Chains A and B, each alone.
Chain A
Amino acid sequence: MGKTVVLVEDEPNIIEAISFILSRDGWGVHTHSNGDTALAALESKAPDLIVLDVMLPGRSGFDILRDIRSHATLGTTPVMMLTARGQTKDRERAMELGASRFMTKPFSNADVLAAVRELAGP
C-alpha cells in the first residue's frame, strides 16, 4: 500500500484515535498540531490525503485549505475537513474553498475509514 495521510489536528487524544484507526488499516499517518508546520511538510512531499481540523491554533483550517488549493503541487490532493462546531455555514465554506469531504465530530471510526479509503483511492 504505502499510501500516506497527513493529519492536521490540535487535540492530542483525537490525533491518537485517528492515527490508531488509520495505521491499523495500513495507512502511513503523519500528524501536525498546527497548520504552518503541516504546510512546510506538505510542500516537500504531497500525501494521498490530507485530514484537516477547522479549529486550529493560529491559522484556521480554512486558511490552510486555501493555501493548499492555491499551491502548485498540492492543488489536486484530496482534503477531508473535520470540525466540532457542526454548523452548516462551515460546511458550505469548506466546500466553496475546495474541500473534498466535510465531517463533523464526533464521528464513527468506520465512517472515517470509509471516507479515507474512498478519497485516497484503493
Chain B
Amino acid sequence: MSTSVNILALVCAGYAALLFLVAFMAERAAKRGQGRWLQSPVVYTLSLSIYCTAWTFYGAVGFAARSGLEYLTIYIGPTLVMIGWWWVLRKLVRVGRAQRITSIADLISNRFGKSNTLAVMITLMAVAGTTPYIALQLQSVTLSFSAFAAAGPEQARPPLGNSEATAFWVATGLALFTVLFGTRNLDVNERHHGVVMAIALEAVVKLVALLAVGVFVVWGLGGGAAKVIAQIEASEIATWEIAPSRWVALTALSAAAFLTLPRMFQVLVVENDDERHLRFAAWAFPSYLLLISLFIVPIAVVGRSILPESTNPDLYVLSIPLTSGATGLAVMSFLGGFSSATSMVIVAAIALSTMVSNHIVMPIWLRLMGGGALMSGDLRNVVLLSRRFSIIGVVFLGYVYYRISGGGAALAAIGLVSFAGVAQFLPALLGGLFWRGATRNGAISGLLVGFVIWLWTMFLPSFGPDAALSASVLSRGPWGIGALRPEALFGFEGLDPLVHAVFWSLSLNTLAFIVASLVSFPAPLERLQGAQIVDVFRHSTRGQRWRGGMAQSEDLLLMAQRIIGATQAQGLFRSVARAQGLEGYLPEPTPEFLNQLERELSGSVGAATAHAMVGQIVGGAAVSVDDLIAVADEAAQIMEYSSQLEAKSEELTRTARQLREANEKLTELSHQKDAFLSQISHELRTPMTSIRAFSEILRDGEELSRAEQGKYSSIINSESVRLTRLLDDLLDLSVLENGQVSMNIEEAPLVDVLDRAISAVGLAGKLAIVRRREREHILLRTDTDRLSQVFINLIANAQKYCEAPAPTLKIIARAKEGRLNIDFVDNGRGISRDDQRVIFEKFSRLGDDRESGAGLGLAICREVMERLGGTISYLPGQGGTAFRVSLPLSGIS
C-alpha cells in the first residue's frame, strides 16, 4: 500500500473515532435528559441527508457527465415530497408515533391487521432492495481508496485483491460501528440519538466537502463563475436532450424511494422527535439538496475538460483535487464520500436489522422456545443479539453483492435498481394511509406483483447479460416467450429499460393492490387498524416527548391517586422525587419512573390498561389496537368475575331468604306450640280447679247440707267427665294428625248413620231436627263410626250454640257431580266472616257461650273427613250456621 493510502486509512480511523465520540456524547446527553439540542429540527433535517449517499456524492457527477441534467430528478423527487406532500409526511409521522411503529414493514403490517406475512414479505423485499445499495457504498469507498492509490507516488493501481480487502475491512468497520451504536440498548421507541447525531455531523462534512471541491473547481481551476458557466454552455451537457419519460419516471421514483427506503423511513418517521420538525425540514432539506447539487455540473464539465477520457466520472470529485495537487482538499473530499457511504450503511443496517429481527428472527425464536420464552424475562438479550447478527448479516450481504456484481455497474444505475425495488411499497403505504377499503390481500397482491416484475425487469438484468439472466432470455424471453422479455414486457419495445421497469412494476402493483382490495374483505383487526391509521388525526394528539416536565407529573399523580388511592400514590411519587433529588411530590417523568408507575397501576387495573393510561398522559401515543384488545380482555375478565360475584350474591340472597323463611316458620311453630300448651294447660286446669276446690270443701265440710253435698259431688263428677272427654279428644286428634288411625270400612245406609248420631247426642233440649229421610237411603261404604263422630259433633254444636228461640237444624243430603253433600244448617246467628277462618283450628272456641268443650270438635271433624277422603267446610250465606260434609261418590255404592 502506498503511503497516501496509509495516511488515508489513518484519517478514516481518526474520523471514525470522532464519530464514535460524537455518538457517545449524544447518547450520554440523551440518557441524562440534557440533550434538548439533540432534538432540534436542524439535527432532524441533517439526518434526512442520508438520502444523499456516496451515490450523490460521487455518482451525481458521474450521472451528470453521462446523462446531463437528468441527475437533478434525484433531488426534485424528495423536494416535491418535502414541500408538496408534507401532509403525507405529517400523517406518516403521526401514525408512526401513535402506533409505535419501528419500521416500514411494521407500519404496513400493522395497518393490514398486524399481518406477519406482510411484514416478512416487506422485510425480505427491503433487504433485497437495499443490498445493492450497500454494495454501492462499499464500492464507492473502495473506488475512492483506489483513486488515492492510483494518484500515489508508487503509481501502481492496487491489485484487485487489495480493493476487495478494502471493501471487506470497510464493511467490517461499518458493521462494528452500527452494532455498537445501533444496538447499545433497546429503546421502546427505536430511537438512536447517538447515531442520529453522528449522521448529522456526517451530513455537514459531506456538504462542506462537496462545496469546497465545487468552489475549488469554479474559482480555483475554472477561473470564476462566468467562465465556468460559459464552459458549461459550450459543453455537450447543455445540449443533451431531455427525455420527458425518463424525467417523469426518475422524479416519481426518487419521490417514492424517499418515502419507502427503509433508512429514510427510519430517520423520517422512527427517529422523529416532534412532528413540528417537518415544517422546518420542508424548506431546510430542499435547501440542503440545492446546495449539495449546486456544483455538480461545474465539476462534471471542468472534470471532463481537464481529466483524461479514461478517468471514471464517478470519481471526478476526488480526481480533480488529486491531479491538481490539492491533497488536503482531496482528503476532505474523500472524507465527504466516506461520510456519505458510512451514514447510509449505518442507518440502513439499523433499519433492516430492526425489521429482520422483529419480523423474522424473533417470531421464529419465540416459536422454537414455546410459551416459556415470554415468561423468562430474558428476551431483551435475545433481541439485542438478533439485532446484532442481523446488522452483520445485512452489511455482509452488501459485501457479497459487491463481490458478485464485480463492482462493474455505474453507481447511479445500482442506486436506481434499489429505488425501484423499495418503491414497490408505495401503493400499500399510501393506500394504507388514506384508503379504508385497502385490505391485507390487496397489499400482499400488489407487493408480490410489483416485486416479481421488479426482479424480472430490473434486478436480475442489473447484473448484466449472462450473469443472472442469460443473454438469450434478455433478447428473446424465457422459453422463447417474447411477451415476457425482461426489458420489453408484453411486447412494449423501445422503452427505456428504467422507464419500462418502473412503469410496469408500479402500475401493475397498484392495479393488483386495488383490485384485490376491492374483491376481498378486511378482517376485524384490519378494519380497526384501518380506522385507527386512516383517521389518525381524529384518534391521536400531536406527539409529545417524555420530557414533559412537571405538568405531566401532575397529571400522572392525579391519575394515580384515582387508581391506587391518594396516600399510596403520593408516597410513591414523593419517594421517587426524593430519589431524583427533587423536593415535593413531583418527580421527573423518566422512563424508569414511568415503568415503575405502570407496574404499580397494573396491580389495580391490569397491565394493558395501566400502559394505555400512562401512555395517554406521557407517551403522547394513542392507545394502540393491541392495547385496546388487552384492555377489553381485562374488562371481560373483570366482568366475568363480577358476574360470578353477582351470581354468588344472588345465591346468598336466596339462601338467606330461605333461612329467614325457615326461621319464621320455626318461630311460628314455636308460637303455635306455646299457644297450644297454654291452651291445654288452661283446658285441663279449669275442670281440675273445680274438682280440687269442691273435693276440699267436701273433705273439710262438716257443716254442709245434704243438698250441697250432692250438688258439689255432681260438679266434681261432671268436671271429671269433661276432663276425660278432653283427654279423649286430644288423644283422638293426635292419632288422626299423625295418620296412625286405622279405618274400619263397612257398608251402611246414610239414614242409619244419621239416626245413630242423633240418638248419641241425645236430643234432650229443644233443638228440632228437620230431615228428609227418603233422600237418605244412600248406601255408604266408609268408616261409619268416624263419619258418625263428625255428625255428632255438628249436631252437638248446633244444640250448644244455636241461640234462636226455636232452634232448628236442617240436615239435607244431596248427591251432585260425583259427590255426596250433607249440609247441616241451623237457624242461629251464624258465624262471622273472621271467625269462619279459624273455626277448624284447635281450641277455637267462639263467643262467650260457656258451654263445655275445649274447641277441639271441628278440628277433629276436619281430620276425620280428610282421612275419609272427603271435606268439611263452612257454608256462608245460609242464614244460620251451616256446615257441609262432602264425600266422593266413588266411596259410595
Contact = CB atoms under 8 A, between A and B. Distances in A.
A118 B691 CA distance: 25
Interface string B672-694: 00000010011011111111111
A11 B690 contact: yes
Interface string A71-94: 000000000000011110000000
B689 to A, nearest CB: 4
B contact patch SS: helix
Interface string A5-22: 000001111101110110
A30 to B, nearest CB: 19
Interface in B679-716: 681-682, 684-694, 696-697, 700, 715
Contacts of A11: 686, 689-690, 850
Given A17-B693, A84-B682, A85-B678, A105 B850 contact: no
Contact of B685 (A34, A58, A86): A86
Given A13-B719, A17-B697, A84-B681, A105 B689 contact: yes
Most buried by B among A13, A14, A34, A57: A13
A12 B692 contact: no
A12 to B, nearest CB: 7
A21 B847 CA distance: 29
B697 A105 contact: no
A55 interface: yes
B187 interface: no
A18 B697 CA distance: 10
A106 interface: yes
Contacts of B686: 11, 14, 84, 105
A16 B712 CA distance: 9
B848 interface: yes
Most buried by A among B686, B687, B700: B686
A33 interface: yes
Contacts of B692: 106-108
A60 interface: no
Contacts of B687: 13
A106 B693 contact: yes
Contacts of A109: 693, 696-697, 700
Most buried by A among B685, B700, B847: B685
A21 B848 contact: no
Contact of A87 (B678, B689, B693): B678
Contacts of B684: 84
B850 A12 contact: yes
B685 A106 contact: yes
Interface in A36-76: 55, 57-58
A18 B696 CA distance: 12
Given A85-B681, A85-B682, A107 B689 contact: yes
Given A10-B850, A58-B848, A84 B690 contact: no
Most buried by B among A14, A17, A57, A87: A17
B848 A105 contact: no
Nearest to A56: B848
Most buried by A among B681, B689, B690, B847: B689
Given A34-B848, A84-B682, A106 B715 contact: no
A106 B691 CA distance: 9
Contact of A57 (B685, B715, B847): B847
Interface size of B as a range: 20 to 34
Nearest to B716: A13
Nearest to A104: B685
Contacts of B700: 109
Given A14-B690, A57-B850, A84 B685 contact: yes
A18 B690 CA distance: 9
A20 B701 CA distance: 11
Given A18-B693, A20-B697, A105 B715 contact: no
Given A33-B850, A108-B696, A17 B678 contact: no
A71 to B, nearest CB: 24
A105 B687 CA distance: 10
Contact of B693 (A12, A21, A34, A85): A21
A109 B346 CA distance: 126
Contact of B690 (A13, A34, A57): A13
A110 B693 CA distance: 10
A14 B692 CA distance: 10
A17 B690 contact: yes
A21 B696 CA distance: 10
Contacts of A58: 848
A12 B719 CA distance: 11
Nearest to B694: A17
A17 B847 CA distance: 24
Nearest to B679: A85
Contacts of A33: 850
Most buried by B among A16, A87, A105: A105
A109 B690 CA distance: 11
B689 A84 contact: yes
Contacts of A110: 696
Contact of A106 (B688, B847, B850): B688
Most buried by B among A12, A16, A108: A16
Nearest to B846: A57
A86 B681 contact: yes
Contacts of B719: 13
A51 to B, nearest CB: 13
Nearest to A58: B848
A34 B682 CA distance: 17
B831 to A, nearest CB: 16
B674 to A, nearest CB: 8
A84 B691 CA distance: 14
Contacts of B685: 84-86, 104-106
A29 to B, nearest CB: 14
A109 B693 CA distance: 6
Contacts of A85: 678, 681-682, 685
Contacts of B693: 14, 17-18, 21, 106-107, 109
A9 B719 CA distance: 17
Nearest to B719: A13
Given A16-B715, A85-B681, A57 B848 contact: yes
Nearest to B674: A87
A104 to B, nearest CB: 8
Contacts of A17: 689-690, 693-694, 697
Interface of B: 678, 681-682, 684-694, 696-697, 700, 715, 719, 847-848, 850
Given A13-B719, A109-B700, A110-B696, 11 more contacts: A10-B848, A17-B690, A17-B697, A21-B697, A84-B686, A85-B681, A85-B685, A105-B688, A106-B692, A107-B693, A109-B697
21 contacts: A11-B686, A11-B690, A12-B850, A13-B690, A13-B715, A17-B689, A17-B693, A20-B697, A55-B682, A84-B681, A84-B685, A84-B686, A85-B682, A87-B678, A87-B681, A105-B686, A106-B691, A106-B692, A106-B693, A107-B689, A108-B696
Interface of A: 10-14, 16-18, 20-21, 33-34, 55, 57-58, 84-87, 104-110
Q: Which 3 pairs, one residue from A and one from B, show the smallest C-beta to C-beta distance?
A: A17-B693, A57-B848, A84-B685
